[in-house]
Amino acid sequence: GITLFARDGYMSTATREIEKNAGAKRSLISYHFKNKEEFWKSCMRALFSRFKREMQEKSKQEHGMERKNRLNLLVSKFLRANARVPEVGQVLADEFRREGWRQRWLLENYYREFFWIISQVYLQEQRRTHISGLSLTQFYYLIVGTMSIHSQAITHEILTGEDPNQSTHLLELSSVLTNMLKTSID
């Protein structure tokens, strides 16, 4: 269900299609869930839990990173999580285009917490005078804008022959983005 919701959106995804794709018996979703809305919420819980686990996972590069490197840590973790769970970017791009119950549900259940984390890193970097004259809004969009890299990775690979999800590309992009956001390097 997650893949179809991410690829086609809520309105274009029928529960019958999900059951067929999963090789499940017809009406299995309605047996386990009250309606399509409840099934979608269950799928989103699973998707965002997976994304959060990826954000919390430590990589080899993160061992020994001190608190002063929170910006580097946020950017590298965010890029890696997006590469591993690109459906998050696809769902958010689709659901955040218009106001509605799904957008509000995602905001209240998952997105506010992420925005708070970005805000805290921004405030810390601003106090340390490492932000190069950016507002919180600019800082936020520079980071969140990287989601499109991974949600559109197939198109990028067709155009360039390169997979933007490779770890070397992620490390390079993380370094470039962090350097853009800071006025000096720690």
Q: Contact 10/95 with Cβ under 8 angstroms?
A: yes
> Which position has the higher pLDDT, 56 or 179?
56
- Band (pLDDT 50/70/90 cuts) for residue 159 is very high
Q: What is the mean pLDDT of residues 44-63?
A: 83
What's the confidence (pLDDT) of residue 127? 83
What's the confidence (pLDDT) of residue 60? 59
Structure tokens at 152: 């559109």
CB contact set of 98 (below 8 Å; sequence gap of 6+): none
Q: Contact 120/114 with Cβ under 8 angstroms?
A: no
Q: What is the mean pLDDT of residues 126-149?
A: 83
- Is the pLDDT at 64 greater than 70, yes or no? no
Exposed/middle/buried for residue 54 (C-beta within 10 Å: 0-12, 13-18, 19+) = middle
- Band (pLDDT 50/70/90 cuts) for residue 88 is very high
What's the confidence (pLDDT) of residue 184? 44
Structure tokens at 123: 């405030």
Q: What is the mean pLDDT of residues 109-129?
A: 88
The 3-class SS string of 12-59 reads CCCHHHHHHHHCCCCCHHHHHCCCHHHHHHHHHHHHHHHHHHHHHCCC
- Band (pLDDT 50/70/90 cuts) for residue 41 is very high
Distance CA 108, CA 36 (A): 19
- Band (pLDDT 50/70/90 cuts) for residue 65 is low
Provide the percentage of residues in the chain whose pLDDT is more than 90.
25
What's the confidence (pLDDT) of residue 92? 92
- Is the pLDDT at 66 greater than 60, yes or no? no
> Which position has the higher pLDDT, 124 or 131?
124
Distance CA 170, CA 62 (A): 14
- Band (pLDDT 50/70/90 cuts) for residue 26 is confident
Distance CA 36, CA 14 (A): 8
- Band (pLDDT 50/70/90 cuts) for residue 186 is very low
What's the confidence (pLDDT) of residue 130? 67
Question: Looking at residue 164, what DSSP letter applies?
Answer: T
What's the confidence (pLDDT) of residue 185? 39
